[in-house]
């Protein structure tokens, strides 16, 4: 579904990604693990068109998307939930969700997806007339995910969905991620909580200082001593 080959990405003179390659099959949950500043968010931004690679290729469903405009990439079926949620705080929950569907014309489909989002996130239904800025961090995360789903993505990029959330909410968010995947959406997940990420992923890539240094099934990485020491607190 997504094939990335040897991409190099720079911020000015600083190289943020160094010959990164990865691939994602339809229906998978693939997770990127790495320390802060390793290049995980940069990779998601490059896939979704917010950054342009200097070299290398990004092919989504057989078509090159490297350097294409972000809205064209959304139209193709790829949505990005950025780190830090980025909801429109002075708009209501409902208006935020409507914005997620702004490229769509299928009114019936949009209505169905509203129902689907409210099924996944019942709290969003309760808060639908409330300004997004008044929601808790966890609710804003749910809204950001719901808004991305309103674009009807085939592939969903999630950047740090558990960041700053209480442990109980983290469990809820991860359950919902699994449910979104079971409903047919492929997921690329960037997550500091390596333990949780590996518990729901099929495969994982480890990024260190802009390079992919390790990849394998989630089980393989879960039982790797190297990963345990670096990212799983040595357990």
pLDDT given for residue 235 in this prediction: 46
pLDDT given for residue 57 in this prediction: 96
- The model's confidence at residue 27, banded by pLDDT at 50, 70 and 90, is very high
Please check the confidence at residue 35 and state whether its pLDDT lies above 70.
yes
Mean pLDDT, range 135-144, rounded to an integer = 90
2-77+153-231 architecture in CATH?
3-Layer(aba) Sandwich (3.40)
Mean pLDDT, range 137-165, rounded to an integer = 91
Mean pLDDT, range 146-172, rounded to an integer = 90
pLDDT given for residue 37 in this prediction: 86
Give every CB contact of residue 106 below 8 A, 6+ residues apart in sequence.
none
Beta bridge partners of 211: 208
- pLDDT tens per residue across span 78-96: 999 888 768 898 899 999 9
Residue 100's φ and ψ, nearest 5 degrees, are: -60, -25
The domains of the chain are located at: 2-77+153-231, 88-150
Q: Which long-range contacts (CB under 8 A, 24 or more apart) does 173-182 make?
A: 173/138, 173/141, 173/142, 173/145, 174/199, 174/200, 176/120, 176/121, 176/142, 176/145, 177/29, 178/29, 179/120, 180/120, 180/145, 180/149, 180/156, 181/27, 181/29
Mean pLDDT, range 14-35, rounded to an integer = 95
Please check the confidence at residue 111 and state whether its pLDDT lies above 70.
yes
Nearest CA-CA partner of 110 in 100, 119, 120, 96 = 100
């Amino acid at each position: 579904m997504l094939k990335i080959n040897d991409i190099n990405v720079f911020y000015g003179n600083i190289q943020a990604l160094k010959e990164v390659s990865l691939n994602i099959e339809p229906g998978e949950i693939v997770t990127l693990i790495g320390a802060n500043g390793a290049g995980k968010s940069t990779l998601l931004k490059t896939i979704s068109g917010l950054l342009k690679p200097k070299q290398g290729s990004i092919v989504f469903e057989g078509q090159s998307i490297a350097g294409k405009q972000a809205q064209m990439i959304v139209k193709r079926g790829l949505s990005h939930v950025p780190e830090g949620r980025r909801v429109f705080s002075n708009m209501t929950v409902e208006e935020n969700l409507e914005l997620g569907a702004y490229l769509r014309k299928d009114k019936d489909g949009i209505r169905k997806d509203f129902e689907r989002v409210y099924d996944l996130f019942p709290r969003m239904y309760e808060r639908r007339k409330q300004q997004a800025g008044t929601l808790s961090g966890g609710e804003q995360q749910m809204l950001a995910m719901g808004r991305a789903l309103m674009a009807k993505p085939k592939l969903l990029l999630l950047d740090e969905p558990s960041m700053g959330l209480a442990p109980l909410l983290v469990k809820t968010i991860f359950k919902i991620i699994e449910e979104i995947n079971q409903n047919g959406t492929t997921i690329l997940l960037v997550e500091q909580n390596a333990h949780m990420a590996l518990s729901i992923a099929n495969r994982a890539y480890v990024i260190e200082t802009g390079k992919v240094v390790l990849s394998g099934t989630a089980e393989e990485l879960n039982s790797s001593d190297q990963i345990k020491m670096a990212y799983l607190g040595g357990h």
